Amino acid sequence: MREIFSKKFHPLSVPVIVLYIIMLIHSFIEGLALGVMNNLSGVIALACAVGGHKPVEAFSLGLLVSQDRPTQYIYWTMMTIYVLISPIGIVVAIFISEIGNHLVLGIISAISAGTFIFVGCDEWSKIYQNKEIWPLSEKLWHLGLYIFGILWMLLIAIVEG
């Protein structure tokens, strides 16, 4: 059986590093979005949205990083930073809102909304780009996850409203 971790240091692959950085940015923006909320129902709604996908996201990221067989120290350091980045985003957003800079809060909200729009458009583009390659089951899987995300957000909006 192959060991999960390497005994000696070697660099991680570029795709794993890029994905890790993207996921850090995504998690930081989620934290910013949570920290910007000024009412309890908004915080609960967004916390449910984040909580709905964060465990799967973290598990997937951990699996992808472990495929490069990093040392245990590197792996656990990366995962610890990933876990802490959303709370750091929350603290930063609360600090910004305390000093009353509404322009910065507007920019943060726009970045957050843009991230969600990008992810949705990216899913649609994957389906379109692979329309002749992917079997119907793969297309339906991506479409189903996209619809599930929309329904999850609608449910949150209903509960919040």
> Amino acid letter at 109?
S
pLDDT at position 79, please? Answer: 94
Q: At what angle do helices 136-160 and 102-129 cross, to 10 degrees?
A: 150
- Average pLDDT estimate for 68-74: 90
The closest of 80, 95, 146 to 117, measured between CA atoms, is 146
What's the CA gap between 26 and 109, in Å, rounded?
Answer: 13
**CA 97 → CA 2, 37, 66, 94, distances in Å?**
49, 10, 38, 5
Question: Percent helix, strand, coil in the chain (nearest 5)?
Answer: 80, 0, 20
Once rounded to an integer, what is the mean pLDDT over residues 55-62? 86
pLDDT (average), residues 108-135: 75
Q: Percentage of the chain with pLDDT > 90?
A: 11
Whole-number Å distance between alpha carbons of 78 and 71: 11
Angle between helical axes of 72-98 and 102-129 (0-180°, round to 10): 130
Whether 105 and 36 have beta carbons less than 8 Å apart is answered as yes
Residue 77's pLDDT band, with cuts at 50, 70 and 90, is: very high
pTM (predicted TM-score): 0.66
pLDDT grade, residue 33 (50/70/90)? confident
pLDDT of residue 43: 77
Provide φ and ψ at 37, rounded to 5°. Answer: -55, 135
